[in-house]
Structures are given as structure tokens and as C-alpha cells.
Structure 1
Amino acid sequence: MSNIQLHKHDLPAGLSLGPVVAVDTETMGLDPRRDRLCLVQLSSGDGSAHLVQIIPERLGGQGANCPNLKALLADPAVTKLFHFARFDIAAMLNGLGVLTAPVICTKIASKLVRTYTDRHGLKDLCRDLAGVEISKQQQTSDWGALELTPEQLTYAASDVLYLHKIWSRLEALLLREGRMDIAQAAYAFLPTLAKLDLLGYADPDLFHH
């Protein structure tokens, strides 16, 4: 059974999650400019997850006042491992005012090397690369609630608990197929891409005709 710890407002001081930390977010919707950041999930890959609930000051919380979390997200010595990093980086930049880097994205990695399939969702990668079936039932629940349900917490944790295992498989495929260099270049660009998304260049993107 996974160990899930919920922290209100910020990570505990002194918590170390290692050199590569899996990260995900839950928001009120899919527009990072409009929809409030509600939860940030983190895992060191050891089977435990730390969930930080971001509560606005108007609802009795601390809002973006989470120095420990922000220090980790911006720490150049800690690689942040995402699935679909583009959205999460933008959501945290808009919600917390911090640009997350350096980063890895398993969705990009999957699209670069698993060209034999069009299934690159986290549920697909968990099944195909980690041998785990995860439920997406709580995906569209109300993440802005002040009290999150046990089902929500379990769902949120599942989004980070398996990313290290998935990445180890994808990393080997990137090396095998000679596409690690282009993957790393794409990862390095993701924080800038998130900035462009927040400026309104998501659709059509800056490189569109």
C-alpha cells in the first residue's frame, strides 16, 4: 500500500525527495491561465507521495506562499519528472509564480520512441511500461474543495507514483533509438513553451504558419 501524505499549504521544511522528483498537478480545469492550481503531487519514486494542497488566502489558506515547494521546483540540482509537463509547468507558473526546471516529460519521450502506437496517456504508460492499471475516475472531480476525499488523494498520488519506473523504460528506449539528444532539447524548451502558453500562444502556437 502506498504511503500518501497530505500537506496543507507547503512541503515540510527539510524534506528531501532525491535528485529526480516526479511531479503532477490538479487544477480547476484545463486552462492554466483561468483555472486555479489546487494540488501539487510529488514522489521520490519510493512508493510514497507528498501532496501539497494550495488554498487561496480568501479561503483561509496561504495561496502562493509555499517557499519550500517553490524552492524544490526551481532547484537546478533537482530534475522534475512529469507526464505532460507543458501543462503542469504553466499551471504552477501561473499559480505560484515559479518556473519549474530542469524537467523531463514522459509524454514527449513516449511520442518520440513509441511510434508504433498513438496511446501516450499516463494510463496507457502505466499499463504498458509499469504493469499497473490506474483509475482516472476522479480526474474530473472538484479539486478546489477544502477537504479532499480519500478517493481524490489516491487518484492524485497515482499520477506520480509510477513515473520513475515509466521513465526508466523510456530512457532506455530513447538511448536505444538514438533520440535522447532531441528529447533533452525538447525538455529544455518546455519552461519557455509554458511561458508562451500563458501569453496566449498555445493555439495557434508560435511556430504555426
Structure 2
Amino acid sequence: MGKQFPAMLPEHEAFIKQQRIFFVGSAMAEGHVNISPKGHDVFRIFSPTEVAYLDLTGSGNETSAHLTKQDRITLMFMAFEGAPMILRLYGKGRVILPSTPEWDRLIPHFEPLPGARQIIYADIHTVKTSCGFSVPFFSYEGERETLLKWAAQKGEQGLDAYHREKNTVSMDGVVTPLGQQLASSSRSGEGTD
């Protein structure tokens, strides 16, 4: 039977810090529901009710788009080794883009990784644990370096072009905060030769 809490307890924080992967769920009132896996050391706990993760460039940007319309977000962690448990954080999320004061305040808490495009920040209102008895055992062998190498090879200009092509609009046609920022900089003449 699951248990529910208004904030993370120290044992919840310890459990989260042991996990090598987490999943992010988001949705708008209409359209697709998105669930994304996240790897690398990108998750940070700022208080028992405040968390954030450094979002790396990917082929989509659904969570970011969803948060412009509906701020609901769920983060899920599960034990693949040791005692079974699933832990979910339910909250209200928002997108923090580079070149903003909030980015400047938060980015020092993260390891600099190639391809970082935004920070997803969440105010947590409910923490729920459940048994996880059916989750199989998996052994951690290491991080895939493919995304980081790809982003490093792209460089700043290549990533900017990729963001413009792949990360500005969601599957359901919603302009992402990154898309809004890129459109604004194009209109003002920034980012053009």
C-alpha cells in the first residue's frame, strides 16, 4: 500500500540520490501525454518541496511545451537494485531558460554538460511511495556518453540550429519557451549574422 506525504522526508531524498534514472510525466488538457526518461547527474533537490533538473537537448521538447499550458508535472524514481520502491513527486513545474536571472542563480548547482538547453523546476505538493514489487532488477553499467558527445560535436551554432529545427514546437503544435525565446531573438536581430 502506498504512502503519501506533503514533502520529501530525508529518507526520500536519500533514495532519490541513489537512483541513476528518473522519469518525467507531463500533459495538457488535450493532446499527447508525455513520459521522458532522464539520465546523467542532472537532478537537484533544493528543499523538501523544491527540485529541478538540467534538461539536455533532445529530439523533442514536450515537457517544456506542456508546462506553458498546464503546470502539472510528475517525477518518478524507482529502485532497480536493493529494496523495492517507487517514489513519485507531484508538483507544479516551470521552465527556466538560459540568459535569465533565475538560470544564473541555479546553473552553478549543476555540472556543466554539453547540450544543456533549460532547467525544469518543480514546486512539490505531494510525495507518494509505493511498493515497486514488480519492478525487475537491473544493474547499472554506466552512462551513455552518446548525447554528450553529439552535443559537443554540434557546438553552440549547431545546437542553436538543432533547437530551431526540433525544439521550438511540440507534437501538438504548442510553441515551447525555447521557441518563444528563439523567435524573439530572431525578431530583434540577435543570433543572426
Determine if the TM-score, normalized by the shorter chain, exceeds 0.5. Answer: no
Higher CA-based Rg: 2
Question: Which of the pair is proportionally richer in strand?
Answer: 2
- Normalising by structure 2, report the TM-score: 0.33
Structure with more of its chain in helix, by fraction: 1
